[in-house]
Amino acid sequence: METLKFSVHEFMIIMGILRERQNAGNEIPSDSIWFTWQERYKELDRDLEKLDMMQRADMLFDGKVTFQDCTNPMILEVMSLVDVHLAFEQGLIDEGDLDADPDEVEIWKTLRLRLETSLEWDG
């Protein structure tokens, strides 16, 4: 089992993808990280809403969220969600969207590599 650490920004995006799936009526498997990490997600969402813009940015990018005892299936699920977000970010670049940010793609690629390494170390 591994310890996973995310920026608050990364965590909120990962969980936001699952929230959107649930809101769209898609079934989320009972062993999903959604159910394991949902309370922390809701707690952070409430905390972020209370902050002004600068404090929120500080928390999103400087704050960390850590989870102990993450299993390989959990890591694989996170990797699949990272892939979803990577595709979204890359799509913005490909479309020439004003919100496109190549640095964001690199951040998510780095996270994916960290997750792959966690799987390799765990066997």
What are 32-66's pLDDT values in tens digits? 999 999 999 999 999 999 999 999 999 999 999 99
> What pLDDT was estimated at residue 123?
55
pLDDT, mean over the chain = 94
What are 78-104's pLDDT values in tens digits? 999 999 999 999 999 999 999 999 999
CA distances from 4 to 21, 26, 82 (A): 23, 26, 14
> What pLDDT was estimated at residue 11?
97
Give yes or no for a contact between 86 and 112, defined as CB atoms under 8 angstroms apart: yes
> What pLDDT was estimated at residue 118?
86
| Cα angle, residue 13 at apex, residues 88 and 38 outer, rounded to 5° | 140
pTM of the model: 0.91
